Structure 1
């Protein structure tokens, strides 16, 4: 079981009071390795030194954009990136996910919700890890769907034999579909099962991640044949491409 005290968290916000408040709350919740930064430059230096597991990231920084920083962070590991920002329009949320964010909370926020989402993420990783056993067949945990394959144990997506970079939360959502092909899942069900936060998300979170999966596995993401929308019900992954 993962110890919360072992998780490294970087809190990047230009308001020192928010950094201090989150550090105080998260420390009470059992987290120990808490690092703060208030500028783009400080954050980049921090991430290079610490290589955090989780990044709480503001979009509006005094010397740069948190959106640009989000993409840069992927060069130093694969942290779980949770945006904390006052920019709350649908376009802002979509841009956050498009730049590589895994989740999004708008200000003002309850710091206990931040803690809950971090813990939900950790539980999800533990659950995935507990399902893997070295005694399985060599190909167990590899899900093949025509032009693409997902290797659960190695956390790898390959398309037509070539590795394709895939952010953590996008990979987890795709993996969930691979485990239950042909089953229709609503947005609420997907958010509950993959994000593990009992429906506290919104429709745009799932929609953006669906689009990011399609951009990787579909020949024409605008006309999907594998990850289908079932009108009024949700989404399903099929084994064979379907004509639509």
Structure 2
């Protein structure tokens, strides 16, 4: 077998917060199963965060790969997972990763809604992939069936509640007759809504997802 066939797939992780730390855990704890599925070993070679101490509660993250040099992680991997959020520095690092020849995985709906065409074009020009299933629907397979299974169909409309917070609020209001303000406070207390729920209840999250689906 050629050496390149058995070389590990290098994964760089941008962001080590709630989602990033658990992504790292899955990559480390399930590396054997992932290797069996992929046909090559997979290795977490870099974790970028503003403060390396953020990773202290996560023993599965090897301290030797943690760095504040985000650009270095973004440009020295085969696959870059962007979990920084926002549209500013995230765009810079995603484009840098693509330019370096890496494929990118992101759940950053705001980034894709605003800069999607630019990012898709950059990936196509470099011959790399950009995957973003989790940007709409979380773990619910939606974008892949839309792009592949329904490729021969003409989609005329899409209807649904695509925001988890508003889904919970609307359900509680409909089934229990509760007031919006009361349900929102309950959702925040249970962790279903952010401390600042503006992005959800004002429709920005749904708008971003709609732009991606379109």
State TM-score, norm by structure 1.
0.36
Q: Which structure: greater helix fraction?
A: 2
Q: TM-score, normalised by structure 2?
A: 0.40
The structure where strand makes up a greater share of residues is: 1
